[in-house]
């Protein structure tokens, strides 16, 4: 293992070829820990061989998972259980399956806090067709909030159930993992903000209609497009103005850092409800920020149907550069990774930027305010394991000879249940 300080010029050149350099810097020195020799679990480092091994590992996992009694029970009953809550859901398959698999649309109902389950049950029944009727192709899943609380869709127990739901749909309904979409109305819109920001690497795109962010930070949406919608007169909890404010925040992030693909629709002359459930042009403010700041009500007709916006986007599971706000996580999840980064839930402060480029055989890490350890996950799509791999952490370079590891491959395969998040090596940064 080599260890030295890389020159500022070399770092600048590498960052220039590996994605947008973010204005983050940490004074803390991190140590790159070389992985232990995997011994008998070592894999052939040849890229083509690893691709085949990874496919075989996925097929082995899938076969075992489909035979699992819990998987069978929860997919047959459409009820998932976690601790003392359950999540009910409906599944409808629409149209012919595309070659890569069906897109998945997870739809969250309105409602929220109530003394009895009746109101939320009714809202759930409505959501079973709300965004479905104009859908031409996909697996449409309407979920029922786990409790009758204001945060019905994002109780702490909700997050591991969404992980499980996506995993089940990949396994049983031939869903394309890179075309998973999340949409919600009212209380469901609240859920889109919360779940989207904490689980953004699971989704290709999001749609939030008539919800409230409740102060959530959205740095984690750097690589996840979102459509924000609210009615002009929906002033309960300031949903109208807060929606425009979050659109403006995303505008600002995008101007500085790139990424942060989004669209903000303030529906003209509407309150809490508007027609976002059909593929028809309806009037929205031409400029949501101008409406917010200047009262400009100039408007134009647009198609606001959530699938039409979201379908433009396919998830890149290994983006060339990512941001991870460690303070915006759901520590109830068993999943502790983010794209190709990983951190224990005790590491819950600061932001990590990671970048890589094809052919560079290098990963660049910049951090700010990060306390605690984290790790980098690698597979043969990112690096050539037959060559040394360079790790740059806050301008400090470490060169490692890495051996792909069967145990790491199976552990990441099982933990994520997503064939795009299988990795053969893990490098710990302390």
| pLDDT tens string 62-83 | 999 999 999 999 999 999 999 9
pTM: 0.94
**Average of pLDDT values for 193-213?**
98
Pairwise CA distance, residues 128 & 181, whole Å: 15
Tokens read off for 267: 């529906």
Domains, the chain, in order of start with CATH, read: 2-61+318-429 (no CATH), 68-310 (3.40.50.1820)
Residues of the chain above pLDDT 90, percent: 93
Cβ-based neighbours of 328, under 8 Å, separated by 6 or more: 197, 198, 216, 217, 219, 220
Tokens read off for 270: 């509407």
Q: What pLDDT shows up at residue 115?
A: 86
pLDDT band at 6 (very low <50, low <70, confident <90, very high): very low
Q: Which range is least confidently modeled, 19-28, 209-218, 235-244, 410-419?
A: 19-28
pLDDT tens-digit series, residues 278-291: 999 999 999 999 99
Residue showing tokens 């560079």: 360
Q: Where are the beta strands (DSSP E) in 260-370?
A: 262-267, 281-285, 299-303, 321-325, 337-338, 341-342, 351-356, 362-368
Decide if 418 contacts 58 (C-beta within 8 A): no
Instruction: Tell me phi and psi for residue 8, to 5 degrees.
Output: -60, -40
């Amino acid at each position: 293992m080599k260890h030295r300080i890389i020159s500022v010029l070399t770092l600048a050149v590498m960052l220039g070829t590996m994605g947008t350099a973010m204005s983050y810097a940490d004074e803390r020195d991190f140590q790159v820990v070389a992985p232990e020799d995997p011994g008998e679990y070592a894999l052939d480092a040849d890229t083509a061989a690893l691709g085949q091994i990874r496919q075989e590992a996925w097929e082995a996992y899938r076969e075992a998972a489909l035979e699992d009694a819990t998987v069978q029970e929860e997919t047959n009953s459409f009820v998932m259980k976690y601790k003392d809550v359950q999540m009910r859901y409906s599944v409808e398959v629409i149209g012919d399956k595309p070659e890569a698999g069906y897109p998945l649309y997870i739809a969250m109902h309105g409602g929220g806090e109530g003394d009895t389950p009746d109101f939320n049950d009714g809202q759930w029944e409505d959501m079973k067709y709300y965004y479905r009727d104009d859908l031409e192709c996909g697996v449409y899943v309407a979920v029922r909030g786990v409790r009758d609380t204001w945060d019905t869709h994002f109780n702490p127990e909700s997050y591991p159930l969404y992980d499980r739901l996506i995993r089940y749909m990949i396994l049983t309904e031939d869903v394309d993992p890179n075309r998973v979409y999340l949409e919600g109305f009212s209380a469901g819109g609240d859920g889109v903000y919360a779940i989207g920001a904490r689980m953004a690497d699971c989704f290709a795109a999001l749609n939030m209609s008539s919800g409230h962010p409740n102060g959530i930070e959205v740095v984690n949406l750097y690589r996840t497009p979102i459509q924000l919608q609210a009615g002009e007169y929906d002033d309960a909890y300031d949903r109208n103005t807060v929606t425009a404010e979050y659109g403006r925040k995303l505008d600002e992030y995008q101007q500085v850092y790139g990424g942060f693909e989004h669209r903000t629709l303030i529906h003209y002359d509407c309150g809490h409800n508007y027609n976002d459930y059909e593929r028809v042009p309806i009037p929205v403010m031409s400029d949501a920020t101008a409406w917010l700041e200047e009262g400009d009500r100039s408007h134009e007709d647009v198609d606001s149907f959530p699938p039409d916006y979201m379908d433009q986007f396919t998830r890149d599971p290994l983006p060339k550069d990512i941001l991870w706000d460690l303070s915006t996580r759901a520590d109830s999840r068993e999943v502790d990774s983010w794209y190709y980064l990983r951190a224990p839930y005790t590491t819950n402060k600061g932001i990590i930027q990671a970048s890589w480029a094809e052919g560079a055989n290098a990963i660049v890490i910049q951090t700010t305010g990060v306390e605690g350890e984290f790790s980098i996950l690698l597979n043969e799509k990112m690096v050539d394991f037959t060559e040394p791999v360079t790790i740059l952490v806050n301008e400090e370079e470490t060169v490692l000879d890495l051996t792909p590891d069967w145990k790491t491959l199976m552990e990441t395969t099982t933990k994520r249940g997503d064939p795009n998040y299988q990795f053969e090596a893990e490098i710990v940064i302390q």
